Structure 1
């Protein structure tokens, strides 16, 4: 199966002696493999596997550990996410583990399927026999390893630091790892597994907690918070607070010390381009282009106008020629002549000629003559309404019907003319009013604006009051307040008027004999009931139009003007203006998150893990020792080694020391030290151990596995002091 990786393949595999063991630090976060006796592993990669398909060929590839992001655009990763072989620091997915071992041995340079070197592989404390036996079966059956040794990673780190004088032979190894945290007591250089303690909290949970907090704080930058980036931010910015409550109060008060502890991550941001004013040459060039385009358009318009004039002149000459021929035709031949020309009468030809003449004058730009228009309109009107002035006695029944139609058309035409004249007068009056207002504004702008604001306020209050009265009515509840809960207040003015008229009529009929309808005046009641308070509606319409005009005027003159929200207004609110994005919108600020996330190592119940923290685990481990000795407890607390990736947080040693002093008796000597390299000391300790001459005595061979089976692994225990 093909691998995709950026890790170079080793080339000296065949040059190493077959007796040299291969050392594997199989951690839940990283996989490290190398040769025994060396100070650094040859290959390091993340202990995850991903198997996507190629988008074109459909071929499945295996991506182990870190991958090249540039190549991922060619693969479909939606159905295959990163998978780990671990569950709480225990290997349980051996199919994924086989991919990881294949890749590790391949990067070491192994060409053959069988590995002819002894293997020392790390495991967690008190690893289940099922997991250990499956790992042995995988190494023996699949890779043909001659011999295997299992050891605890935290124990190798403690022994390595002990050899360098960092810690004593008696002490505690506190290892906050990726998914779990272990405490292992050491007596005379050997781990006491009966006193071990484990908590299901580690660096994975800190990273996940930080990712959740940042995602909630900055949801619009969610795609930026990848696992790898949040892991880097955690290791770069997070720290352990000595007193979480007092540290949180600093950020709550926002003092200067909190500002100094705040960090900022600037995301990529490109400022919007600033529009520079055009130069004089650019303005002149654009003006020349615009003038050239305008000249071209004018030439095109002139050509079109000339063509139109020619067409109209030809049409006019044709109509005049037609009229001249019509005068020479005899009366009996006129119908047949008109039938050939397509016209019905001479009047229709005259009307067409007049229309063409008007169009021609309009095309030539000649001014209209009112006298000419009137002279032409009168004969046209007399021809169009020729039967109006003729008495009815002189008309036939068909002509009477036609006369009624002409009268109706003439009245409608006159009405349209009057309406047009009225609109023209209103427009002229509006222009004169606007001109007067503009003169007033120019004379005293401040006074004009003040009067405009006062008028707007008065009109808005009047409109609101009328709308309330129209909805709730004029009913008063005794306190001059409207809008009560009675039925009279829920009816509008028109409905209350109808109820009053009906009540009055019923009261009058109840006095005696019912004589309603005997008089013509009684039927006027229905006309009154059919009205919808027209008088009430006319005023608000004019006021609302004036209010809209003044509001528009104020928007133009006063930039600080904010229109009031009228009661019952159906106009939608103005959309908020979009603020352009700035550099601050692409900044991720770390404040309380810097110490809040690592705090779960001491308070796991914050994320729902009902277990003790790091400081309390030491007391639990000491109490679990099979023998009670005060001097031994003092020796253990005098040499506490902190190792593992999560021990790199600043302030970890001081916080652990203050927490352990609170649970130990007063005066107990406590010394806490950090490993030389909390991340790599486990592999280096295993490398030094595998390079010892007596290492072969701590392994079990493939023949032993075939002969004794996995039950022999139950009692297998590595001796760390050779």
Structure 2
């Protein structure tokens, strides 16, 4: 089953082994440049002589440990080790702007400790990334932190996407950087387009849209929550990011893809199923000794209950015998007392006359007789004896007033007894007919199970068609132009023109003959849209009985074939979009089916409005950026459309960009789109390559320049945000 459905288990993050600080000996006193790629999700750092950077999630959390009540400062993967620390985690970034400088200081402390720097100051030049079009004030605060806190000798800033382009188009050591290209950088909080002409980033022509991997992750999570509002497990941002990276991709033509996915079979073939962890309540298995002890305990409890019931019956029997003896003694006093005294005695005992006393004595004697017989038979109930009505056949002339009253009473009792007997015989006859029908059905089922099941399936289909036809007619009545609604209005008009009572008489007396005929109630149900059909409830009961038989005896008939299941699924397309699972299927209830969402999330890069973002898409931004260049310059740019950043690794991106750029370019103009060799670390590697050149020292702001001009001192160079002028605050 799992292989046919291509089920993937949800990724659960594992705890990372704490990294070991590096040795600082070979860099001590050498002044090796430090490279820091300060990303919004990942911090990459290291010396420029390293082959690869050290990487940690750019997350910090100040947390108080419960057992020792000591404050802890956790960074990177260390935040995942404490569940309480995750809720207090924060990053230096707010979207695409660096705002939290306390977290930045903690991140830099961690980086320098892991690099093994044990000196009182960081005596290494620093090359650090910044966002495209970063605020000047943010850069000034960052410079102030690095110069004042760590006393670095010099500091330079660069745009990460430009440095990734530099690394992938690295010229020979003796040749200056002069490549042309159009850099498209997919970042965590934004996506930017930077034209590069003759090795110089044209930041005045750069564009940026407020859509990145973080927004895509949130969008996917919202789509999942909308699709599964009652999902039993909480889906986290980390899991949503994992699903985005592993299952989402770009479509070359998104509208055409949606039209293709209207076919339920294609929709099911395109889905990816993610199985979340679930727990099955395993039945407790008992040993034979435990089962024997439980059975013995139940038998003992049964015996105790029987003894309690027998004791209660004996107490009631003794009470009735005492009451009978008391009433017999009371009746013996009738001959000893005067009439007046006897009437007072009866009133004190709650009797109106001698007849009530005799009836009570007779009833007690009958109850005692039944109870004694029941005790003698071992507590089994006996069939009641038919009552006798001796006065029924006695002529009225032979009876006095009390006898006539008793005769009328017995006649009523006999009528009630006869009615109960007739109802009992009718029930017995229906039971016998039902048992005979069940025997005939069982014989037919044993003789031909396939034919019997086929007959019941036809009966089920006929009943469902009747129910569907009723629903269709009820829906048609809501449309006043439909044939059903017009027929209803015609029926109402005919009732209003009823000539069974003259119009003058109806107007004078208000007399109406509606209801005199049984057909009136049928027409009433026909014209009243809110009235339920008299046969609807019977059909539902019959349908349920038929489906229960099929579920019990037909192995090919499952719960998915029942009327309730088919009504819940509503359509094959909706069933393919979100399959329904039975209530007891815990494994199925903890599955996510991703189909349309796989392409919809990525399409938001080209149509942010579909996710509620008021911004142009990537295709429009590329067209706007290229429109500012001549055809000759445009031809140089589109020969090297360079894609970098983590989301650039999504499948189908290059084809989607080609489909967006090709129609806006002349047919003869060549177009080539390439992806960075390593989109995750190429920016850091490009910074390391540049730090080894002599130009790095010329573009850096020294400690002396900072002390003279302040933290907002900027030097222009081809890889920075400002490359056309020198700005001084």
Query: TM-score with structure 2 length normalisation?
Result: 0.64
Partner in structure 2 of residue 37 of structure 1:
49
CA separation in 1, counterparts of 2:157 and 2:21? 27
Q: Are the counterparts in 2 of residues 196 and 624 from structure 1 also a CA contact under 8 Å?
A: no
Q: Are the counterparts in 1 of residues 277 and 590 from structure 2 also a CA contact under 8 Å?
A: yes
CA separation in 2, counterparts of 1:550 and 1:595? 48
CA separation in 2, counterparts of 1:59 and 1:331? 101
1:22 aligns with 2:34: yes
- 647-656 vs 496-505, which moves further: 496-505
Q: Are the counterparts in 2 of residues 171 and 641 from structure 1 also a CA contact under 8 Å?
A: no
How far has the Cα of 1:45 moved from its partner?
Answer: 0.8
Distance 1:81-1:288 versus aligned 2 partners, 3 A rule = same
What is the RMSD computed on CA atoms of the aligned residues? 6.1
Distance 1:299-1:13 versus aligned 2 partners, 3 A rule = same
Secondary structure at the aligned position of 1:38 is classed as coil
Partner in structure 1 of residue 674 of structure 2:
673
Partner in structure 1 of residue 583 of structure 2:
580
Secondary structure at the aligned position of 1:221 is classed as coil
Partner in structure 1 of residue 423 of structure 2:
427
After superposition, where does 1:618-629 map in structure 2 within 5 Å?
621=625, 624=628
Q: 2:179 aligns with which of 136, 150, 170?
A: 170
CA separation in 2, counterparts of 1:427 and 1:60? 83
CA separation in 1, counterparts of 2:282 and 2:639? 63
After superposition, where does 1:112-511 map in structure 2 within 5 Å?
115-163=122-170, 169-172=178-181, 173-187=183-197, 189-221=199-231, 224-244=234-254, 246-253=256-263, 261-268=270-277, 294-313=302-321, 316=324, 354-365=362-373, 413=409, 417=413, 420-421=416-417, 423-428=419-424, 430-431=426-427, 434=430, 437=433, 489=495
Secondary structure at the aligned position of 1:32 is classed as strand
CA separation in 2, counterparts of 1:334 and 1:113? 122
Q: Are the counterparts in 1 of residues 61 and 74 from structure 2 also a CA contact under 8 Å?
A: yes
CA deviation profile, 1:516-539 (whole Å, cap 9, x unmatched): xxxxxxxxxxxxx999989979x9
1:598 aligns with 2:602: yes
Partner in structure 2 of residue 515 of structure 1:
none
CA separation in 2, counterparts of 1:105 and 1:27? 16
How far has the Cα of 1:254 moved from its partner?
Answer: 6.2
How far has the Cα of 1:323 moved from its partner?
Answer: 7.0
CA separation in 2, counterparts of 1:598 and 1:591? 13
Q: Are the counterparts in 1 of residues 80 and 86 from structure 2 also a CA contact under 8 Å?
A: no
Distance 1:102-1:221 versus aligned 2 partners, 3 A rule = farther
CA separation in 2, counterparts of 1:589 and 1:611? 30
Secondary structure at the aligned position of 2:231 is classed as helix
Distance 1:123-1:330 versus aligned 2 partners, 3 A rule = closer
CA separation in 2, counterparts of 1:139 and 1:290? 79
How far has the Cα of 1:17 moved from its partner?
Answer: 1.8
Secondary structure at the aligned position of 2:53 is classed as coil
Q: Are the counterparts in 2 of residues 64 and 100 from structure 1 also a CA contact under 8 Å?
A: yes
Q: How many residues align?
A: 616
Q: Are the counterparts in 1 of residues 185 and 192 from structure 2 also a CA contact under 8 Å?
A: yes
Q: Are the counterparts in 2 of residues 194 and 624 from structure 1 also a CA contact under 8 Å?
A: no
Secondary structure at the aligned position of 1:179 is classed as coil
Secondary structure at the aligned position of 1:597 is classed as helix
Q: Are the counterparts in 2 of residues 162 and 169 from structure 1 also a CA contact under 8 Å?
A: no
CA separation in 1, counterparts of 2:400 and 2:271? 96
Secondary structure at the aligned position of 1:712 is classed as coil
- 344-353 vs 18-27, which moves further: 344-353
How far has the Cα of 1:335 moved from its partner?
Answer: 8.1
Secondary structure at the aligned position of 1:31 is classed as strand
CA separation in 2, counterparts of 1:375 and 1:199? 104
- 434-443 vs 654-663, which moves further: 434-443
Partner in structure 1 of residue 616 of structure 2:
611
Q: Are the counterparts in 2 of residues 90 and 127 from structure 1 also a CA contact under 8 Å?
A: yes
CA separation in 2, counterparts of 1:165 and 1:673? 21
Distance 1:76-1:414 versus aligned 2 partners, 3 A rule = farther
Partner in structure 2 of residue 380 of structure 1:
none
How far has the Cα of 1:677 moved from its partner?
Answer: 0.9
Q: Are the counterparts in 2 of residues 9 and 108 from structure 1 also a CA contact under 8 Å?
A: no
Partner in structure 2 of residue 381 of structure 1:
none
CA deviation profile, 1:555-599 (whole Å, cap 9, x unmatched): 79755999xxxxxxxxxx999999435455544334343334333
CA separation in 2, counterparts of 1:535 and 1:242? 69
Distance 1:497-1:41 versus aligned 2 partners, 3 A rule = same
Distance 1:159-1:431 versus aligned 2 partners, 3 A rule = closer
CA deviation profile, 1:144-194 (whole Å, cap 9, x unmatched): 444322122123222322338899841223322223333444455444444
Partner in structure 2 of residue 71 of structure 1:
82
CA deviation profile, 1:659-682 (whole Å, cap 9, x unmatched): 545444444444443222111011
How far has the Cα of 1:504 moved from its partner?
Answer: 8.8
Distance 1:635-1:282 versus aligned 2 partners, 3 A rule = same
CA deviation profile, 1:617-640 (whole Å, cap 9, x unmatched): 3x6556656xx794x765554444
Partner in structure 2 of residue 85 of structure 1:
93
CA separation in 1, counterparts of 2:504 and 2:438? 53
Partner in structure 1 of residue 12 of structure 2:
none
Secondary structure at the aligned position of 1:641 is classed as strand
Q: Are the counterparts in 2 of residues 157 and 684 from structure 1 also a CA contact under 8 Å?
A: yes
Q: Are the counterparts in 1 of residues 699 and 716 from structure 2 also a CA contact under 8 Å?
A: no
How far has the Cα of 1:250 moved from its partner?
Answer: 3.9
Query: TM-score with structure 1 length normalisation?
Result: 0.64
Q: In structure 1, list runs of 5 or more residues that go unmatched.
A: 378-384, 390-406, 465-480, 507-528, 563-572
